[in-house]
Amino acid sequence: MRPLSVTSATKLSEGNKAAQRPTLAKPALFQIIAYIISSVEYLRTAYAKILTMLISLYLENYALIGQQTIEFAEGFNVITGETGAGKSIIVNALALIMGERASADFIKAGKQRAILEAVFDIQGRHIDGYVSDEVLIITREISLNGRNLIKINHRVVTQAELKKISRYLIDIHGQHQHQILIDPENHLEILDLFTESKLRAAAREVFGQYHAVKKEYDLLLQNRDLRQEEKDFLNFQLAELENANLQAGEYTELKTEKSRLDSFTEIAEVVRGVAEKISGLKDGLRYNKNKLAQIAGKETALQNLADKAEALSLDFEDFHDSLADYENHLEFSPQRLDEINERLDLLNKLKRKHLKQLEEEDITALLIKKRDQLRTLLSGLEDTDERLAKLEKDLAVAEKAYLQAAGELSKHRQKIAAELEQKIIGALQALRMPRAQFKINFTTGHYTAGGLDAVEFLISANAGEPVKPLAKIASGGEISRVMLAIRKILAEQDQSSAMIFDEIDAGIGGETALAIADAIHSIARKHQVICITHLAQIAARADYHLRVEKSATADTTTVAITPLNKAARELEIARMLSGKMTESAAAHAQELLAQGNGGGQLDAAAHAQELLEQA
């Protein structure tokens, strides 16, 4: 069978409803009465506000299933089968439909991919961006190569998107939920399923504001001593730089002067030697210039050379005088060299301490920049106490607003808790715990986004026993009944999702099982319920019955899910009662089915005949 399309799935849903709708029989009196009774039963079911219904689940190459479409009905669906037959396959498949992580281990041996497709009737609801007058289809493809695919109404989506939307479609309850129930850390969250969301949102919003201010305040307060140490260190650094009396360009000038003083001896010797040679040249030039001047009058052509000799003599005189003057003023000061070396040592020390740059450059500009940065930073640190004072006032305002919102939420929770306690006690009494007492204990916890409340569920299952923590005294069967009681109450106010009960009957039998069956049947008036059970009492109350069977050959093992008619249901209920078909088991099965209007439809004709006989 191929996966259902939107159109065919809609027709299937309409066909199922039409099949359940009674038709008018021949106008005999008892048949008319039968029609009326059947119509009343139909209207009770058909017009219950079931907002979400799982129409079908298609599985291909999934686990031990080759290819199968499992169809579901409105109301109470039950799935039964031998232990190990593969009932968990359906629950695991629905968990994948809800967005659980897929694994190649789910693929049937020898196949390359598995396909899961769930078709939901959502009654034209607007679910997180998806609007449909017909159905919503979720498809998952799991491949060995890891190229998995998720689609909603044939559009590819992410796993996160699937999880976001599936929570409006399916709600699974099983042994994992039992563990959640016995952990007090989850009790407030369970209570809040019944409280006003606006009050929770208001508390969460003001807590966010309070938390932001508190975080900044605590950070400043925590670091105040550290900041004082930092401030002292920065002040030390600043004083060191300010006491150095830094001058722009100073480093380069000192390096130049030091280089000259370090070369004083060499400079003095060169200047002195040049001066001596220039002096000898000057005297010889003066003598030869005079000789030319004496004979220039005798030879006109020599006058030009005599003039040049005069000019050259004057230049030599001027150069010699300048060199002599430089030599006369040239002096070496060891004290000045020491001063320069000391100053350069200080600047280099400051460079190593305050600067990352170690290149030979004019570092005074960088040190001046560092000094100015320290001044600015210290100015900001001076504002810490002022900032703390302001934050302290803001924190008081935010805390007052939070306590007010948390207080209002707490009062509301305690009011709802008191009402819920009585409802749960009533539900537990109906579930064969006639002496049960249930208490929701409140204590004041820490400041949280969820308010100040910490709650814990307390229970007493027996008369005369005080209430104690649920986790410490409740048996598995009692835990199951408390969970069912909470879900039954929640179902009365929330009709938005199909509910899956995975062996919620653990640790239960006898009359208690009948009570559990009644409770689940009651939930099914407003929700589609799919229940996996080992108990015949629960299975007999269902409106629609599926059996899981495992078969094996020498080479392969397969699992099949089959809908049961009335006769097949009797056989299955009898098997569940005694493990095999016996006359007593068959009679008991027929009795259970009769009590539960078994067979999927009310035997209206028999009921009408009984009424006529009584009349």
- Residue 40 has a pLDDT of 39
Mean pLDDT check: name the lowest of 146-155, 257-266, 457-466, 594-603: 594-603
- List, for residues 295-354, the tens digit of each pLDDT value: 776 776 777 777 777 777 777 778 777 777 776 666 666 677 788 888 888 888 888 877
SS3 call for 598:
coil
Question: Do 17 and 159 share a domain, yes or no?
Answer: yes
Give which of 92, 177, 148 is closest to 486, Cα–Cα: 177
Complete edge-to-edge strand list for the sheet that includes strand 451-460: 437-448, 451-460, 468-469
Question: Do 26 and 157 share a domain, yes or no?
Answer: yes
| Choice between 77 and 21, residue whose per-residue pLDDT is larger | 77
- Indicate the pLDDT class of residue 132, thresholds 50, 70 and 90: low
Q: How many domains does the chain have?
A: 2
Joined together, the tokens standing for residue 10 give 């809609």
- List, for residues 135-159, the tens digit of each pLDDT value: 889 999 999 988 899 999 889 999 9
Which residues, including other chains, have CB under 8 Å from residue 88's CB and lie 6 or more apart?
A: 502, 532
Q: Which residue has the tokens 């302290």?
A: 392
Mean pLDDT check: name the lowest of 126-130, 198-202, 434-438, 472-476: 126-130
Please tell me which of 366-375, 474-483, 516-525, 593-602 the model is most confident about, judged by mean pLDDT. Answer: 516-525
- Tell me if 607 sits within 8 A of 34, measured CB to CB: yes
356: burial class by Cβ within 10 Å (0-12, 13-18, 19+)? exposed
Question: Do 146 and 280 share a domain, yes or no?
Answer: no
SS3 call for 383:
coil
Residue 542 lies in a domain: yes
Q: What kind and span of H or E run contains 437? A: strand 437-448
Domain boundary among 361, 376, 402: 361
Q: What is the pTM of this model?
A: 0.59
- Residue 328 has a pLDDT of 67
Question: Do 18 and 111 share a domain, yes or no?
Answer: yes
- Residue 27 has a pLDDT of 41
Q: Which residue has the tokens 């695991």?
A: 92
- Residue 51 has a pLDDT of 67
Q: Give yes or no for residue 128 having a pLDDT over 70.
A: no
Distance between CA atoms of 171 and 501, rounded to whole angstroms?
A: 9
DSSP 46-93: HTS----EEEEEEEEEETTEEEEEEE--SSEEEEEE-TTSSHHHHHHH
Joined together, the tokens standing for residue 382 give 């001076």
- Tell me if 426 sits within 8 A of 230, measured CB to CB: no
- What residue type is 126 in one-letter code? H
- Indicate the pLDDT class of residue 452, thresholds 50, 70 and 90: very high
Give which of 549, 592, 560, 498 is closest to 84, Cα–Cα: 549
- List, for residues 245-278, the tens digit of each pLDDT value: 888 888 888 888 777 777 666 676 676 777 777 7
- List, for residues 473-508, the tens digit of each pLDDT value: 767 777 778 888 887 887 776 656 788 888 777 667
Which residues, including other chains, have CB under 8 Å from residue 136's CB and lie 6 or more apart?
A: 119, 120, 122, 127, 130, 152, 153, 169
Residue 331 lies in a domain: yes
In the chain, what percentage of residues exceed pLDDT 90? 24
Distance between CA atoms of 534 and 81, rounded to whole angstroms?
A: 8
Question: Do 22 and 139 share a domain, yes or no?
Answer: yes
- Residue 527 has a pLDDT of 85
In the chain, what percentage of residues exceed pLDDT 70? 77
Joined together, the tokens standing for residue 477 give 């069967």
Residue 124 lies in a domain: yes
What stretches of 431-509 show up as alpha helix (H) in DSSP? 470-473, 476-493
Give which of 571, 585, 565, 577 is closest to 538, Cα–Cα: 577
153: burial class by Cβ within 10 Å (0-12, 13-18, 19+)? middle
Question: Do 164 and 274 share a domain, yes or no?
Answer: no
- Tell me if 521 sits within 8 A of 595, measured CB to CB: no
Joined together, the tokens standing for residue 406 give 């948390």
- Residue 364 has a pLDDT of 78
* Mean pLDDT, residues 392-420 taken together: 95
Q: What kind and span of H or E run contains 611? A: helix 604-614
Distance between CA atoms of 517 and 524, rounded to whole angstroms?
A: 10
- Indicate the pLDDT class of residue 399, thresholds 50, 70 and 90: very high
Domain boundary among 302, 337, 361: 361
Question: Do 25 and 148 share a domain, yes or no?
Answer: yes
- Indicate the pLDDT class of residue 116, thresholds 50, 70 and 90: very high
Q: Give yes or no for residue 117 having a pLDDT over 80.
A: yes
Domain boundary among 331, 361, 391: 361
Distance between CA atoms of 572 and 578, rounded to whole angstroms?
A: 10
- Indicate the pLDDT class of residue 431, thresholds 50, 70 and 90: confident
Distance between CA atoms of 206 and 397, rounded to whole angstroms?
A: 11
Residue 437 lies in a domain: no
- Tell me if 344 sits within 8 A of 255, measured CB to CB: yes
Neighbour count for residue 24 (Cβ, 10 Å): 9
Report how far Cα 30 is from the mean position of its chain's Cα atoms: 62
- Residue 407 has a pLDDT of 95
Question: Do 159 and 254 share a domain, yes or no?
Answer: no
| Choice between 509 and 528, residue whose per-residue pLDDT is larger | 528
Residue 611 lies in a domain: no
Residue 159 lies in a domain: yes
Residue 21 lies in a domain: yes
| Choice between 484 and 443, residue whose per-residue pLDDT is larger | 443
Give the 3-state secondary structure of 310-332.
Answer: HHHHHHHHHHHHHHHHHHHHCCC
- What residue type is 559 in one-letter code? V
- Residue 43 has a pLDDT of 36
Phi, psi of 440 (to 5 degrees): -105, 110
Q: Give yes or no for residue 613 having a pLDDT over 80.
A: no
Question: Do 112 and 12 share a domain, yes or no?
Answer: yes
Q: What kind and span of H or E run contains 211? A: helix 197-222
Residue 526 lies in a domain: yes
Q: Which range of residues forms the domain containing residue 335?
A: 250-361
| Choice between 433 and 264, residue whose per-residue pLDDT is larger | 433
Phi, psi of 129 (to 5 degrees): 95, -10
Complete edge-to-edge strand list for the sheet that includes strand 65-71: 65-71, 53-62, 113-121, 135-143, 149-152, 155-156
Joined together, the tokens standing for residue 181 give 């129930």
| Choice between 51 and 350, residue whose per-residue pLDDT is larger | 350
Q: Give yes or no for residue 396 having a pLDDT over 90.
A: yes
Q: Give yes or no for residue 597 having a pLDDT over 70.
A: no
- Residue 351 has a pLDDT of 81
Q: What kind and span of H or E run contains 404? A: helix 384-430
Question: Do 164 and 262 share a domain, yes or no?
Answer: no
* Mean pLDDT, residues 525-537 taken together: 88
